[in-house]
């Protein structure tokens, strides 16, 4: 039976408007006037709750297979579903085997069977010496590749220098698949760390950690990536931009029409270095959260479209690895957990700043869909797209408690955050999968294979 979901606030590519979304099977067939909902349809009237496109998070570490005690398909995808996120793209490094060749991708597909509550895909990895695995991974359907320009934290996922990048970009030329890069180079980090250690800096202070990952590491990495995007014409995507000092060179690259896109993460837009307590290693991530003035510059770049999208970089570990008792930033595992909170966090922050919530559709759905090659199928409420939808109560006020978090380990720096706006329901391909704290049905998530 045809369904119609309607509200006075449906987010389309043209902004919010009263509308009815007509769904036949798994797809949206029409977006029509609110009052035109077909009489014979199964009508779901959401009143003044917003209907948003299901969000797409292109930067998530699910850690399965191999480190399921860190996270896993089941817990990560349930956390996503509870937050209105209907597609996750997994990073290739924290699983065993790392997703650096086609057999490893196949192992991931086996691990995902019957576990995924939302749709997903897996980025392939570019590491030292895997040039020959790039084409088979592309043919096996990955939407693109991820690399590190600095130690990734995982010894089995080696970082690459310019020579390796050139080999990889040669393979990617003409495929239309993007290369995603962790944009910090090791030189400035090594120099800063040596100087801090020589001065016996206190590693329980956040300022020590921040000083160990200077802006220059990001700026130099991005300079290199821009140069290579220009030379090879391959789309290069800067993941988790933290340093506003890189914005001028990115502005110039855009002006020249180079194929460079940029994401930042919710934590760089929400927190500021000045507010992070000593020893609070749940805030550790790389690149680091910088000062409030830097955060303001990132918001500004996002508003003017220089930063294309916002992801979570949800990157969990077992709580013991955060070494909270010692509180040493140099010893703790890096990675912030937040999957499922991005929409209310961004909604709350945007309201405070007077930014229209319609930009959520661009920053957290349409642009990530473009990066993952899913435009037309996902990322917007429009004819022919998958009926992936988030029903969002704009005015619900709540405080983040452990029971609200559905990922495996609840060591999140967002605990206690006071938020405005809450996901009431999430629909995946035409059926509800989450409603007011309850998961509905079974894990129906499908891999999105790119050809």
Instruction: Return residues touching Zn ion (CB under 5 A).
Output: 313
Contact present, 54 and 428 (Cβ < 8 Å): yes
Contact present, 318 and 63 (Cβ < 8 Å): no
Output 240 or 406, the one with its CB closest to Zn ion: 240
The number of beta carbons lying within 10 Å of the beta carbon of residue 166 is 14
Output 215 or 313, the one with its CB closest to Zn ion: 313
- To Zn ion, the closest distance from the beta carbon of 58 in angstroms equals 10
Q: Which of 183, 185, 317, 293 is nearest to 240 (CA)?
A: 183
Output 184 or 313, the one with its CB closest to Zn ion: 313
- To Zn ion, the closest distance from the beta carbon of 59 in angstroms equals 6
Output 263 or 313, the one with its CB closest to Zn ion: 313
The beta strands (E) that lie in 107-259 are given as 119-122, 124-125, 145-148, 179-182, 236-238
- To Zn ion, the closest distance from the beta carbon of 313 in angstroms equals 4
Q: How far is it, in rounded angstroms, from Cα 383 to Cα 415?
A: 38
- To Zn ion, the closest distance from the beta carbon of 353 in angstroms equals 25
Element housing 279 (H / E):
none
- To Zn ion, the closest distance from the beta carbon of 311 in angstroms equals 8
| Locus of tokens 């070494």 | 323
Output 232 or 283, the one with its CB closest to Zn ion: 283
- To Zn ion, the closest distance from the beta carbon of 155 in angstroms equals 16
Q: How far is it, in rounded angstroms, from Cα 347 to Cα 368?
A: 18
Task: Please identify the residue of the shown chain whose CB is closest to the bound Zn ion.
Answer: 313
Output 321 or 394, the one with its CB closest to Zn ion: 321
- To Zn ion, the closest distance from the beta carbon of 62 in angstroms equals 11
| Locus of tokens 């790039």 | 134
What DSSP state is assigned to residue 151?
-
- To Zn ion, the closest distance from the beta carbon of 225 in angstroms equals 16
Q: For the purposes of burial, counting CB atoms within 10 Å of the CB of 435, is it exposed (0-12), middle (13-18) or buried (19 or more)?
A: middle
Q: How far is it, in rounded angstroms, from Cα 180 to Cα 371?
A: 10
Neighbouring-strand partners of residue 408: none
Output 57 or 313, the one with its CB closest to Zn ion: 313
Give the rounded distance of the alpha carbon of 383 from its chain centre.
25
Instruction: Lay out the sheet containing 260-265: strands in order across.
Output: 124-125, 145-148, 179-182, 236-238, 260-265, 309-311
Output 338 or 425, the one with its CB closest to Zn ion: 338
- To Zn ion, the closest distance from the beta carbon of 174 in angstroms equals 27
Pure H helices in 317-377: 342-353, 359-361, 367-371
What DSSP state is assigned to residue 204?
T
Output 98 or 313, the one with its CB closest to Zn ion: 313
Contact present, 128 and 190 (Cβ < 8 Å): no
Give the rounded distance of the alpha carbon of 336 from its chain centre.
12
Rounded to whole angstroms, what are the CA distances from 433 to 11, 50, 378, 401? 20, 17, 17, 22
Give the rounded distance of the alpha carbon of 262 from its chain centre.
12
Output 71 or 313, the one with its CB closest to Zn ion: 313
- To Zn ion, the closest distance from the beta carbon of 316 in angstroms equals 11
- To Zn ion, the closest distance from the beta carbon of 109 in angstroms equals 21
Output 101 or 313, the one with its CB closest to Zn ion: 313
Contact present, 10 and 381 (Cβ < 8 Å): yes
Contact present, 184 and 149 (Cβ < 8 Å): yes
| Locus of tokens 């391909």 | 429
């Amino acid at each position: 039976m045809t369904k119609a979901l309607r509200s006075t606030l449906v987010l389309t590519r043209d902004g919010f408007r009263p509308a009815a979304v007509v769904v036949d099977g798994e797809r949206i067939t029409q977006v029509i006037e609110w009052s035109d909902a077909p009489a014979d349809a199964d009508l779901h009237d959401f009143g003044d709750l917003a209907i948003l496109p299901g969000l797409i998070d292109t930067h998530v570490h699910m850690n399965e297979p191999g480190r399921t005690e860190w996270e896993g398909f089941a817990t990560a995808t349930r956390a996503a579903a509870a937050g209105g996120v209907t597609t996750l793209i997994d990073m290739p490094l924290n699983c065993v085997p790392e997703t650096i060749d086609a057999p490893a991708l196949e192992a991931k597909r086996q691990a995902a069977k019957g576990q995924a509550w939302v749709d997903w895909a897996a980025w392939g990895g570019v590491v030292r010496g895997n040039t020959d695995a790039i084409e088979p991974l592309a043919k096996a359907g990955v939407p693109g590749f991820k690399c590190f320009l600095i130690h990734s934290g995982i010894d089995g996922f080696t970082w690459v220098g310019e020579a390796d990048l050139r080999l990889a970009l040669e393979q990617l030329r003409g495929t239309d698949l993007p290369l995603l890069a962790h944009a910090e180079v090791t030189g400035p980090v090594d120099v800063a760390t040596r100087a801090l250690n020589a001065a016996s800096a206190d590693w329980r202070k956040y300022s020590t950690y921040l000083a160990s990952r200077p802006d220059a590491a990001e700026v130099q990495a991005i300079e290199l990536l821009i140069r290579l995007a220009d030379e090879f014409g391959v789309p290069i995507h800067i993941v988790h931009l933290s340093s506003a000092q890189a914005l001028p060179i990115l502005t110039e690259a855009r002006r020249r029409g180079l194929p460079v896109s940029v994401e930042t993460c919710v934590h760089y837009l929400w927190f500021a270095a000045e507010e992070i307590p000593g020893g609070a290693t749940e805030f550790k991530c790389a690149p680091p959260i910088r000062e409030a003035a830097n955060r303001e510059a990132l918001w500004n770049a996002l508003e003017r479209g220089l930063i294309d999208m916002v992801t979570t970089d949800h990157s969990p570990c077992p709580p013991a690895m955060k070494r909270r008792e010692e509180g040493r930033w140099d010893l703790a595992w890096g990675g912030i957990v937040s999957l499922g909170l991005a929409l209310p966090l961004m909604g709350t922050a945007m309201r405070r700043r007077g930014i229209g919530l319609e930009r959520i559709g661009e920053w957290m759905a349409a642009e990530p869909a473009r990066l993952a090659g899913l435009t037309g199928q996902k990322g917007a409420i429009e004819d022919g797209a998958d009926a992936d939808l988030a029903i969002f109560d704009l005015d619900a006020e709540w405080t983040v408690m452990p029971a609200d978090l559905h990922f495996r380990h609840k060591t999140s720096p967002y605990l206690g955050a006071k938020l405005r706006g809450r996901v009431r329901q999430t629909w995946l391909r035409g059926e509800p999968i989450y409603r007011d704290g309850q998961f509905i049905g079974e894990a129906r998530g499908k891999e999105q294979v790119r050809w």
